[in-house]
Amino acid sequence: MRMRPRAKRSEWRGNVKRGIVDFNVFVDYRLTIDEMIAAGGYGHVPADLTDEDRGLHNCDGVVATVLHVVCFGEELTSEKVLDKLAQQRLRHAEMPEFLALGAQFPALQLEYDLVTLYSRWRCQHTGVKLYPGLTAKDGLRKLAIHWNSASGLWHPPVRFVAAAI
């Protein structure tokens, strides 16, 4: 029997202010980052994503996993988000996991901005850390490199993609 990606949708109705929704996804670690991006069918992609962004997992083949999309409902720094995730025994999603979620649930980013706090990038002008995000504008799905606001805070509409520790 083949499993299909699915989400428990009952937890979120409309514009939820806080909570966690679980998504069953399949991560294909045989793919390169470019192939994972192509599978997502994004209308806009940053040029600086490479296989260096695959993360530290030594997985091979296709792995079924559960990803958690988390909304804290308050303004938080990246460090505070990571602390709160750790308290729930969660970590930020690695790029292959993040890209698999975007490819298998493309409508999700049309409703919410999704971010993973995986980061190797910094703004060359300010030194601020940059993070991968899945966003949309006028129906165009984008994979982008984001930073939080000038205040250093993430605002509640943002959802963070996490995985179990």
How many separate domains does the chain show? 1
Query: Which whole number is the average pLDDT over 25-46?
Result: 89
Whether 7 is covered by a domain: the verdict is: no
CB distance 109 to 102 below 8 Å: yes
Whether 12 is covered by a domain: the verdict is: no
> Distance of alpha carbon 121 from its chain centroid, rounded?
15
Domain that holds residue 31: 18-164
More confident residue, 130 or 77: 77
Whether 4 is covered by a domain: the verdict is: no
Whether 1 is covered by a domain: the verdict is: no
The pLDDT, as a whole number, for residue 63 is 93
Whether 13 is covered by a domain: the verdict is: no
Whether 81 is covered by a domain: the verdict is: yes
Q: Summarize pLDDT for 91-100 with one digit per residue, the tens.
A: 999 989 999 9
Q: How far apart are CA 150 and CA 56, in angstroms?
A: 30
CB distance 21 to 94 below 8 Å: no
Task: Residue 22: name the closest of 11, 30, 32 by CA.
Answer: 11
Predicted TM-score (pTM) of the model is 0.84
Tracing tokens 């929704």 back to the chain, one arrives at 21
SS3 22: strand
Whether 104 is covered by a domain: the verdict is: yes
The pLDDT, as a whole number, for residue 18 is 76
Whether 117 is covered by a domain: the verdict is: yes
CATH at 30 = 3.10.100
